[in-house]
Amino acid sequence: MNNVNIVGRITKDFDLLGDKVKYVRITIAVDSLMVRDKTNFIPVTIFGQQAEFAKNFLGKGRLVSITGELVTNSYQKDGNWVNSFSVNANRIKSLEKGVEVREQSPKQDNQVEAIKPVETKRDVPWDIDL
């Protein structure tokens, strides 16, 4: 089973990429459990609806939990083999409080959901799990 769980902070703001399939590439700063005062920087790719969620509601410094799959890659650079890794996210969750975006209220056939104002675009406390 290939399953990775990380908790850390997003290192910088990012852009939504892709034409047919939307995705974002982010880096998560994760404190090491083995070495004091060491931080690991883990590259993460997020696809589809989760990528749109991340772009709209997450940004630099935001504390997140990510579950995904470890992906490895090997390539040749200047005659030497280089190995790299990243995480493809299956689930991303914001771990910081914020305001709700949509009220949960029963709606009738001709009504639409009421939308509450959002203080900033990064104040959403839910996660997306596909």
What confidence tens digit (pLDDT) does each residue in 32-86 have?
Answer: 888 889 999 999 999 999 999 899 989 999 999 999 999 999 999 999 999 999 9
Instruction: Say whether pLDDT at 30 is over 50.
Output: yes
Beta bridge partners of 9: 29, 63
Alpha-carbon Rg for the chain, nearest whole angstrom, is 18
Q: Is the dihedral of CA 53, 57, 60, 64 positive or negative?
A: negative
The whole-angstrom separation of Cα 126 and Cα 130 is 13
Q: Between 112 and 22, whose confidence is greater?
A: 22
Question: How many other CB atoms sit within 10 Å of the CB of residue 54?
Answer: 26
Phi, psi (5° rounding) for residue 17? -115, 170
Level-2 CATH architecture, domain 4-129: Beta Barrel (2.40)
pLDDT value for 96: 85
Is 90 exceeded by the pLDDT of residue 97?
no
d(CA 51, CA 27): 14
pLDDT at residue 105 in the model? 36
Q: Tell me the three state secondary structure of residue 81.
A: strand
Please write the tens of the pLDDT for every residue from 102-116: 333 344 444 444 444
